Amino acid sequence: MRPVALLVPGRIDTRTGGTIYDRRMAEGLGLLGWAVEVHALDASFPRPTAAALAHAGEVVDALPEGGVAIIDSLAAGAMPALVERARSRVAVVALMHLPLIADPAIDAQAAGAFAVDEGRALAAAHHVVITGAAAVDLLAPYRIAPSRLTIVEPGTDPAPLARGSADGLVHLLSVATVHPGKGHEMLLGALADAAVHGWRLTCAGSLTRDAATAARVADTARRLGLEDRVRFAGDLAPEALAACYDAADVFVLATRRETYGMAVAEALARGLPVVATRTGAIPALVGTRAGLLVDVDDRRGLAEALARVITDASLRETLRAGAQEARGQLPAWEEACRRMAQVLEALTHDG
Residues 35-63: pLDDT tens digits?
A: 999 999 999 999 999 999 999 999 999 99
pLDDT at residue 350, as a whole number: 61
pTM for the whole structure: 0.93
Distance CA 72, CA 21 (A): 10
- Count CB atoms within 10 A of the CB of residue 155: 20
- Looking at residue 331, the DSSP 8-state letter turns out to be P
pLDDT class of 296 with cuts at 50, 70, 90: very high
CATH number at residue 219: 3.40.50.2000
Angle between helix 184-194 and helix 211-223 axes, rounded to 10 deg: 10
Residues composing the chain: 351
- Helix/strand/coil for 203: strand
Q: CA angle at residue 45 from 39 to 50, to 5 degrees?
A: 95
Task: Please tell me whether residues 140 and 53 are part of one structural domain.
Answer: yes
Task: Please tell me whether residues 310 and 342 are part of one structural domain.
Answer: no
Task: Please tell me whether residues 189 and 113 are part of one structural domain.
Answer: no
Q: Is 1 exposed, middle or buried (0-12, 13-18, 19+ CB in 10 A)?
A: exposed
**Residue 121: pLDDT above 70?**
yes
Task: Please tell me whether residues 265 and 149 are part of one structural domain.
Answer: no
Task: Please tell me whether residues 16 and 33 are part of one structural domain.
Answer: yes
pLDDT digits (tens, 9 = 90+) for 168-182: 999 999 999 999 999
Task: Please tell me whether residues 50 and 125 are part of one structural domain.
Answer: yes
Q: Which domain holds residue 80?
A: 2-155+332-350
189: region left, alpha or beta (phi > 0 left; psi from -120 to 50 alpha): alpha
> Between these two residues, 105 and 121, which has the higher pLDDT value?
121
- Cβ-contact 273, 291 below 8 angstroms: yes
- Helix/strand/coil for 175: strand
Count up the domains in the chain and report the number. 2
Distance CA 278, CA 321 (A): 21
Domain assignment of residue 164, yes or no: no
| DSSP H or E run through 40 | strand 34-41
Task: Please tell me whether residues 22 and 146 are part of one structural domain.
Answer: yes
Task: Please tell me whether residues 186 and 300 are part of one structural domain.
Answer: yes
Domain assignment of residue 129, yes or no: yes
Distance CA 122, CA 147 (A): 13
Task: Please tell me whether residues 93 and 221 are part of one structural domain.
Answer: no
- Helix/strand/coil for 34: strand
Which residues make Cβ contacts (< 8 Å) with residue 121, sequence separation at least 6?
A: 71, 76, 77, 79, 80, 83, 84, 94
pLDDT digits (tens, 9 = 90+) for 228-251: 999 999 999 999 999 999 999 999
**Chain-wide mean pLDDT for the chain?**
95
Domain assignment of residue 165, yes or no: no
pLDDT at residue 49, as a whole number: 96
